[in-house]
Amino acid sequence: MHARCKSKHLQPKRRNKLEIREKVLLKEHAADISANIKGFLCSAQAERLGRQTGFIKRSSGKITAQGFLTTLMVADSPQGHISLPDLTAELRQAHGIAISKEALHQRFSVQAVNFLEKVIQQALEQHLGREKEGLKTHFSRIKVKDSTKFKLPTDYNGAYRGYGNFSKTNGMISLQYEYDLVSGNWLSIKLTDGLRNDLADAEQTISAITTGDLHIRDLGYISPAYLKAVIQSEAFFLNRLPPQAGVYNLNGKSLNWNKVFRQAKGQQHLQQDVLVYDKERIACRLIIEKVPDHEFKRRWINAQAKAKSKGIGISQEHKKKLHYNIYVTNVGADILPASEVRKTYYLRWQIELVFKTWKSFFRINEVKRVKKERLECQLLGRLLWILINWSLFSRLNKHVSVRGQTVSMLMFFKRSLKFASTLKTVLLKKLPIKSWLSNNYLPLIIDCVCHAPKNKQTHYHSLQFNTKS
């Protein structure tokens, strides 16, 4: 997946061919997409979850669970802050619900937050937009996890604590997010305290590790407990080597890095079996890859600036390590050759593009000072909107990527904002799903499909090396 494409517009002949192809695709999947979208937000399901969580208590109440849900998702647009007058106007126009600003303010409660969390949880469990068959790899799933943090206005530091300059004034919120690279499905999403670090999240979610999955995570999530849990679950990991981790030969002697770097000189890749961490001694494969000179220079400048700010020096061993990417994995070389390790690990940067998209177009990090429960409800509402669009995006991208084309994620979500009102009509069952697909979704497909840049692989081509035979 590439945010930028060299050719934003296809030639007329190719465009026509693409249009015919995608019309066939839409015809094949219209019923499936329709069932997923309608099942996700149908009135009966929303009402049931509303009663389960205590958000809906009386059948004669002014506000309905579905009305509250869809209003938070698409009132005006999912961009930026939505005022109470905007929300009440949307409820009146779209659902015939007349409610005052004061009454709506009261409905933003702990029960409302629980209701929206339940909707997200159920949507994830039902794998919204999931295709019947995914890419067949050596792994059940390729799970990528990361987090993004953003500051909150003043007076939130009691509910959502921050650190550093935000510990006493502003609050901070952390968004933990995980998805499967193979299917494109969201696996989990959670709002947490900004003070809670990634390591704590990793250790608290160890029970979610299942057999056959490949986990690719940033250094902040890596610990001996996490790696041991992955191995014990007969799952797999691929990570950069944590700087604090001791590395030992299989005979238990500390790894001689100077010797390793001499062996690596003149080679693009070097690999060997090692033990990592001082006490646990976890067995894995160490892969070392030389980086280009310009990358080393960038790292060296950053390392010098960091060392200067802390008033410390830089060892020669650390300087030498800056010349290399150093990875650890428990995946065998027959499945994941050393030459494919960097390409596979850097698939995790897909998630950085996801966060960029959320902040650029959905402005998920732009928060005004409102009631805590209202803040949480509006964030969860935006995430639900993103979830629906993400399911459509991942389905589309998979089909065009295997043909050597790609879909611009940034372009797709930018375009998707323009048909928020029409999707709302679909959700309320006032427009046939097939009509919406033909009139809105198909043009979106055509506009966002472009050729993959030369000498670069599409997302799904990058996964082909581990395809099961």
Mean pLDDT (whole number) for 103-122: 89
Residues 306 and 383 in one domain: no
Residue 135: its pLDDT value, please? 47
Residues 119 and 26 in one domain: yes
Residues 228 and 146 in one domain: yes
Residues 206 and 292 in one domain: no
DSSP 439: I
**Which tokens in the block code for residue 363?**
């402005």
Residues 231 and 303 in one domain: no
- Categorize the per-residue pLDDT at 24 as very low, low, confident or very high, splitting at 50, 70 and 90: low
- Categorize the per-residue pLDDT at 20 as very low, low, confident or very high, splitting at 50, 70 and 90: low
Residue 276: its pLDDT value, please? 94
Number of domains in the chain: 3
Q: Cite the DSSP H helix spans in 84-128.
A: 84-95, 101-107, 110-125
DSSP labels, 280-298 = T-EEEEEEEEEPPHHHHHH
Summarised one tens digit per residue, pLDDT across range 284-311 is 999 999 888 999 999 999 999 988 888 8
Is residue 39 situated within a structural domain? yes
Residues 259 and 233 in one domain: no
Residues 160 and 235 in one domain: yes
Contact 355, 148 (CB under 8 A): yes
Is residue 3 scored above 50 in pLDDT?
Answer: no
Residues 388 and 445 in one domain: yes
Single out the residue in 184, 209, 239 at which a domain terminates.
239
Residues 260 and 225 in one domain: no
The Cα–Cα gap between 209 and 226 comes to 9
Is residue 37 scored above 90 in pLDDT?
Answer: no
Residue 96: its pLDDT value, please? 83
* CA-derived radius of gyration, the chain: 24
Write down how long the chain is.
469
Single out the residue in 314, 334, 354 at which a domain terminates.
334
Summarised one tens digit per residue, pLDDT across range 128-172 is 444 444 445 688 888 888 888 888 776 666 667 766 655 555 678
The Cα–Cα gap between 282 and 312 comes to 30
Residues 308 and 412 in one domain: no
**Which tokens in the block code for residue 51?**
């009663």
Contact 379, 359 (CB under 8 A): no
Residues 246 and 291 in one domain: yes
Summarised one tens digit per residue, pLDDT across range 78-102 is 445 678 888 888 888 877 888 888 9
Is residue 352 situated within a structural domain? no
Range of the domain at 205: 139-239
Residues 17 and 122 in one domain: yes
- Categorize the per-residue pLDDT at 29 as very low, low, confident or very high, splitting at 50, 70 and 90: low
DSSP labels, 198-230 = HHHHHHHTGGG--TT-EEEE-GGG--HHHHHHH
Most confident of the following: 86-100, 222-236, 379-393, 455-469: 222-236
